[in-house]
Amino acid sequence: MDSVSYAQYSIILVNLDPTIGSEIQKTRPCVIISPDEMNQSIRTLLIAPMTSTIKCYPSRIIIDKKSSIALDQIHCIDKSRVIKIIGIIPTSSIIQLKTALKEMLVD
């Protein structure tokens, strides 16, 4: 298993190519949304790409004036696509992300 520890809500730099159609592409920051237990047990991560295109969609979590999380572009990726760990999203963004995911996938 991979010796790197990937934590939920961490920002990682990911190579998303190759892509098809309207999928978000290129190497970009992404937020890990899979829980830590999954991240430690399997070779994949559930991620949401970040984008500098700010749109007021219910599926977008605005982090600041320059970036948002695109929950409408959730991916399951192999850990080999991860280039590096960059940081973690702010607590206020974690709360928004959890609420949006619940509204999108549960309610």
Looking at the domain assignment, is residue 1 inside a domain? no
Q: Specify the CATH number for the domain of residue 53.
A: 2.30.30.110
Average pLDDT, the chain: 90
Which of the 8 DSSP states describes residue 80? G
**pLDDT above 70 coverage of the chain, percent:** 96
Residue 2, pLDDT score: 59
Looking at the domain assignment, is residue 45 inside a domain? yes
C-alpha to C-alpha distance for 35 and 17, rounded to whole angstroms: 24
The position carrying tokens 């702010």 is: 90
Looking at the domain assignment, is residue 92 inside a domain? yes
- Number of compact structural domains in the chain: 1
Q: Looking at this protein, which amino acid is placed at residue 8?
A: Q
Residue 59, pLDDT score: 86
Better pLDDT: 5 or 24:
5
How many C-beta neighbours within 10 Å does residue 60 have? 20
Looking at the domain assignment, is residue 5 inside a domain? no
Containing domain of residue 17, as a range? 10-105
Looking at the domain assignment, is residue 81 inside a domain? yes
pLDDT tens, position by position, 26-74: 899 999 999 999 999 999 999 999 998 887 787 889 998 889 999 999 9
Looking at the domain assignment, is residue 96 inside a domain? yes
